Structure 1
């Protein structure tokens, strides 16, 4: 929406060359309104890239290195936009990305928006696995109430973000899912299947798809147990 201000927040830990590619993709945005870019960086090379890039409005030093949730909260605190968009420093967003997210907020009840992930590199096996795990899984789980905005492709209405106190910084894993479920208390969270981003497959290649899937399943089960996480209320 042309009358909205948006802020893009990028946590970046030791991501020099990858961050530059992410920032380059933001230059091509077709958004009619105003948007700013805030990078929360740790690592000398990463900070230098953020400070030198013309699209970046603010480059904050991440001294804590406590994880993406903490870095995103810090970036959000410095942001001025009505809509907060989050992506990662190893991710490339398409030209309509900001516009696609922001258009959903013309509906006052919308608190957040998420979209699918695609692999930045790799062959057909990566594409199929991403389609299953980072698109169709969301299409199935969201209508059932298990909303999971991926941290590299999500946005939040600022007022809703502040109402739920942002990301839970005590969580080092699934902090984006936790935020998504808490946002449902304030309004609707939309899945836009036509707004994908392309992200790195390095973690999948390093750890393997099956171990990652099992880790997420264990994480979901642990958070569902009483006393483990605010998410438990959404599993009861």
Structure 2
């Protein structure tokens, strides 16, 4: 068995695309004489940089209209082989990628598979994205994923059937989340190849890698809900949550207490706040557009300017931090989970000024969606208990023992069905609950962790 590698692209960054294609070709050569790389270019009739790549393994298709879902389907339709692997156009695959993914997909019980994605770190923004593993699929356990992320995945076309394809109505984002849901509905499971060398994802050192990305991810959820009836993507009581995040008294935010450097804690707390707020903001703006109901008074130009100014100050304040080697100790969560971050007051003020939520929602479809309840308290308590089972042994370990690495922390949390992005926030909340319980006071958990909202949005 050999493979077809699919790379949908708009061709906006030819240099990055060429690096991706060359890496994919190197990996394809190890998978057999007929392994191929298929590039589908959206919205262009020619990309001269691709003409300069020699070799019969590369095929290039051009499409007049930009539609990422249609490009993914074009790969499925034109691929020479039933084992089809996808990678984004700003990623580098390891040399063993094609062989390892195709072997894993040879199992008769697998129609789809995801594997780890890390981010190339060059500064604070990319370090944040890499640390939280924001491109990884949400886990079921160590061997299975709940969602599908096309930055590093593979499918068996012969097991999908002719009708299981990416939804072309979702032409900018959300098509991979919808495809993953369709796989589950068809009775397929999405495998997770935990031990594989990760695909390395590119990341510009710009705040838009967080804010713009999560505005887009958040906006895809109403599309999935209203066009595809994907009820699981509803962000429960989203307007209430967003209003809370604009208020100075809001305290349920991630502290990143596991980091020893206070500058890293402060920077990551701001970035996470921007990530969650952007996901909620994108959700509310798009829901309002689709239902004809204004939910947020948004000045996008002023908002973007404010975030760029804030990011520039963070970068200046952390210029001498080595972002490629950040000391981490998850035992610190026990004592640092209540730390305050004064910089977040500015973030809230910017949201109130340039992205003000409406005070009252008119009756109609938007009001009905926004009024839907969230998880039952027992569900969240069950998640916290799974996190406790992993984090408490780490917290209580002999201090002379080496600290647990982020990769090991991720592995242990995935084994109990908790994504890395959610695990840290949940561990911080466990620490607060434990502290309150030790004082004999009842604690009431929030509806869900805030990081979970954005991480779920990222899978849409």
**Shorter-chain TM-score: what band?**
0.7 to 0.9
Residues 113, 154 of structure 1: 8 Å contact kept? yes
Structure 1 residues 87, 46: CA separation in 2 closer, same or farther (over 3 Å shift)? farther
Residues 120, 198 of structure 1: 8 Å contact kept? yes
> For the residues of structure 1 that align with 2:190 and 2:202, how far apart are their CA atoms?
25
Residue 38 of structure 1: SS of its match in structure 2? strand
Asked whether 1:9 is paired with 2:11, we answer no
The equivalent of 2:16 in structure 1 is 18
The farther-off stretch of 161-170 and 120-129 is 120-129
Q: CA deviation at 1:57?
A: 2.7
Residue 178 of structure 2: SS of its match in structure 1? helix
Residues 137, 149 of structure 2: 8 Å contact kept? no
| Higher Rg of the two aligned structures | 2
Residue 150 of structure 1: SS of its match in structure 2? coil
Residues 117, 199 of structure 1: 8 Å contact kept? yes
> For the residues of structure 2 that align with 1:28 and 1:89, how far apart are their CA atoms?
15
> For the residues of structure 1 that align with 2:183 and 2:78, how far apart are their CA atoms?
20
Alignment of 1:73-92 (within 5 A): 73-92=73-92
The equivalent of 1:51 in structure 2 is 51
Residues 41, 50 of structure 1: 8 Å contact kept? no
Residue 155 of structure 2: SS of its match in structure 1? strand
Residues 6, 85 of structure 1: 8 Å contact kept? yes
Q: CA deviation at 1:214?
A: 6.1
> For the residues of structure 1 that align with 2:137 and 2:85, how far apart are their CA atoms?
22
Residues 9, 39 of structure 2: 8 Å contact kept? yes
> For the residues of structure 1 that align with 2:166 and 2:44, how far apart are their CA atoms?
26
Q: CA deviation at 1:27?
A: 3.2
The equivalent of 1:198 in structure 2 is 200
Cα deviation code 1:189-236 (max 9, x no counterpart): 11123332111213x72525256446535644x3674x431533798x
Cα deviation code 1:83-112 (max 9, x no counterpart): 111112211111111112111122111010
**Alignment coverage as a number of residue pairs:** 227
Residues 6, 84 of structure 1: 8 Å contact kept? yes
Cα deviation code 1:144-167 (max 9, x no counterpart): x97222222111101234444311
Cα deviation code 1:14-34 (max 9, x no counterpart): 231111101121233273434
> For the residues of structure 2 that align with 1:85 and 1:213, how far apart are their CA atoms?
25
Residues 111, 189 of structure 2: 8 Å contact kept? yes
Structure 1 residues 150, 166: CA separation in 2 closer, same or farther (over 3 Å shift)? same
> For the residues of structure 1 that align with 2:68 and 2:232, how far apart are their CA atoms?
23
Asked whether 1:151 is paired with 2:150, we answer yes
Cα deviation code 1:10-60 (max 9, x no counterpart): 112123111110112123327343411111124769622223313543111
Structure 1 residues 230, 111: CA separation in 2 closer, same or farther (over 3 Å shift)? farther
Q: Larger % of strand: which? A: 1
Q: CA deviation at 1:80?
A: 1.2
Tell me the TM-score normalized by structure 2. 0.44
Structure 1 residues 135, 169: CA separation in 2 closer, same or farther (over 3 Å shift)? closer
Question: Any gaps of 5 or more consecutive residues in structure 1?
Answer: none
The equivalent of 1:189 in structure 2 is 190
Q: CA deviation at 1:135?
A: 6.1
> For the residues of structure 2 that align with 1:77 and 1:138, how far apart are their CA atoms?
27
Asked whether 1:174 is paired with 2:171, we answer no
> For the residues of structure 2 that align with 1:154 and 1:183, how far apart are their CA atoms?
13
Residue 64 of structure 1: SS of its match in structure 2? coil
> For the residues of structure 2 that align with 1:22 and 1:112, how far apart are their CA atoms?
22
